[in-house]
Amino acid sequence: MQVSVLSGPTEIRLKERPVPTPAADEVLVQVTAVGVCGSDAHYYREGRIGDHIVNGPLVLGHEAAGVIVAVGASVADTRIGQRVSIEPQRPDPTSAQSRTGRYNLCPAMEFFATPPIDGALAEYVLIQSVFAHSIPDEISDEAAALFEPLSVGIASAQKARITPGSSVLIAGAGPVGIVTAQVARAFGATEVIVSDIDSTRRVNASRLGATRVLDPMTEEVRSLEVDAFIDASGAARAVVDGIHAVRPAGTVVLVGMGGSDYALPISLIQNRELVLTGVFRYANTWPIARELVLSGLVDLDSMVTARFDLAHVEDALNADKIAGSIKAVVVPGLSKETDA
């Protein structure tokens, strides 16, 4: 099979590898779509994200969908032919965090495209059968691949305690900020304010979930009064301004990956009794993602702004530099479809 490999700093190579054989509890998935995440671009450009460092060849991509073409000995062969969305993680089921349902926090987690675990930018991948979630024909391959960032949005909205009538400020109108805005609306928020310094991104947010957008460089953020603030930017100023915008007893959720340390308004957090928490991936979100997309409450297809084949993964990784880009998707069979 063909595999796109990060072979060195900003070096992507298309290589041949054997098609893997599923273990007893695994399925072999023929990949039909892979979303490109900001983390993929970070590994490509910087070779690291925080403590996760690329020390050898790595296959990127953790937002994936496909079709099951083979199963392990413990998996019913009736699953062959199923279209699936891949939840790209393998926790240790015996860990304390997994046993309490927080398997995303399992210290022994093996997560796609997090060094040294290979990801999904390949023609075939293996995943435990329980993390290959079946999808109906009404959902496209590309939307199924984007269940992964949608799950980040779901986890963020859950942590933000969004309920019907809530007001929320979201900083950052990248893919995660936009999908989180859609989830917030789906959860019943009546005021969804999205801030971003980029005018094109603000237009995207207005089209996909936001009830209001603002430019934090020219408009006052701290004077807002919202029930929850979700940071999807990772920018220190955005975090601090957003915290000031939260009403007493409100919630602050940090999702964006920025600096490791920066000053927070501790006395304000204490005096307003704000709940401040983070989001690290997700757990048990795929069934919710499926229903949100099926119901039409979340539109993932409209977030796809560019498509590439495996031979042009480097272009996909740089698509975020294109004005108006939201989400690039790699379709391994795209060139074959074009040739046909």
Say yes or no: 193 and 124 in one domain. no
Say yes or no: 244 and 325 in one domain. no
pLDDT one-digit tens code per residue, 120-146: 999 999 999 999 999 999 999 999 999
Read off the pLDDT of each residue in 165-184 and give the average, rounded to a whole number. Answer: 98
Helices (H), the chain: 38-46, 96-99, 141-145, 147-159, 175-186, 199-207, 236-244, 266-271, 286-294, 313-317, 334-339
Say yes or no: 104 and 157 in one domain. no
Question: Range of 221's domain?
Answer: 150-278
Q: Is the peptide bond before 164 cis (omega within 30 degrees of 0)?
A: no
Say yes or no: 142 and 165 in one domain. no
58 within some domain:
yes
Tell me what pLDDT residue 156 has.
98
Residue with tokens 């006395």: 267
In sequence order, what are the residues at sequence separation of 6 or more whose Cβ sits closer than 8 angstroms to the Cβ of residue 109? 89, 90, 91, 92, 103
How high does pLDDT run on average in the chain?
A: 95
Q: Provide the CATH number for the domain around residue 30.
A: 3.90.180.10
Tell me what pLDDT residue 335 has.
64
Check whether 332 has a pLDDT greater than 60.
Answer: yes
Say yes or no: 26 and 77 in one domain. yes
Read off the pLDDT of each residue in 288-310 and give the average, rounded to a whole number. Answer: 97
40 within some domain:
yes
In sequence order, what are the residues at sequence separation of 6 or more whose Cβ sits closer than 8 angstroms to the Cβ of residue 233? 171, 172, 174, 177, 196, 239, 256, 258
Tell me what pLDDT residue 338 has.
40
171 within some domain:
yes
Q: Provide the CATH number for the domain around residue 206.
A: 3.40.50.720
Tell me what pLDDT residue 337 has.
45
Entry pTM: 0.95
Q: How far apart are the first and last CA of the chain?
A: 19
Tell me what pLDDT residue 339 has.
35
pLDDT one-digit tens code per residue, 148-169: 999 999 999 999 999 999 999 9
Total domain count, the chain: 2
Identify the band that residue 61 occupies on the pLDDT scale cut at 50, 70 and 90: very high
Say yes or no: 30 and 132 in one domain. yes
Read off the pLDDT of each residue in 92-115 and give the average, rounded to a whole number. Answer: 97
